[in-house]
Amino acid sequence: MGDFADSTSAMIADVDCTAAGKPLCDANGVKGFPSIKYGDPSDLQDYQGGRDYDALKKFADENLKAMCSPSNIDLCDDEMKEKINNFMEMEDAALDTLIEAEETKNEEAEETFKTEVEKLQKKYQELMTEKDEAIAAVKAAGLGLMKSVRAAQAKTAEDKDEL
């Protein structure tokens, strides 16, 4: 954070999501710790790079700068300028409806993910139980005793060879 303290285009901050920063973390979709977010404050993205100082510093130097956004439209390409202008010209209610629809899609994707993970966890537990039961059946059928007999036979054969 100290390396960017005087920056006019980048802010690096530390937020404790378990205390006073919890509402900020919830509003920005922080689900695990540690999480690193970057980008436009109203549209933060998940950082997926390395976690050591050199990787973070390199990423910050290359990416933490003024970006295309409604407040920096001069940094946008023509396609993005058109999208921003279309949204800017919309009535508040229409834009709110679009935002709500997209947020609903995110929530649905998250719910589908959770449901499918629960199914995977249940299947995993079923497979573990089946495996444990199969191993127990093999042991009950005498595998351990068979191995002991084989070892005893080998020892007896070895003892005879020495004579």
Taking the C-alpha atoms of residue 147 and residue 139, their distance in angstroms, rounded to an integer, is 11
Contacts with 57 (C-beta within 8 Å, 6 or more apart), sequence order: 3
> Residue 102 region, left (φ>0) first, then alpha (ψ -120 to 50), else beta?
alpha
Residue 1 has a pLDDT of 73
Taking the C-alpha atoms of residue 151 and residue 149, their distance in angstroms, rounded to an integer, is 5
| Residue that has been written with the tokens 């995977």 in this structure | 120
- pLDDT tens for the chain, 163 residues long, are 777 777 766 777 788 888 888 888 888 888 877 788 887 777 788 888 888 889 888 888 887 777 788 988 998 999 999 999 999 999 999 999 999 999 999 999 999 999 999 999 999 999 999 999 999 999 999 998 999 999 999 888 887 777 6
- Beta bridge partner(s), residue 46: 37
Residue 38 has a pLDDT of 80
Residue 16 has a pLDDT of 87
Residue 9 has a pLDDT of 66
Taking the C-alpha atoms of residue 30 and residue 28, their distance in angstroms, rounded to an integer, is 6
Residue 89 has a pLDDT of 97
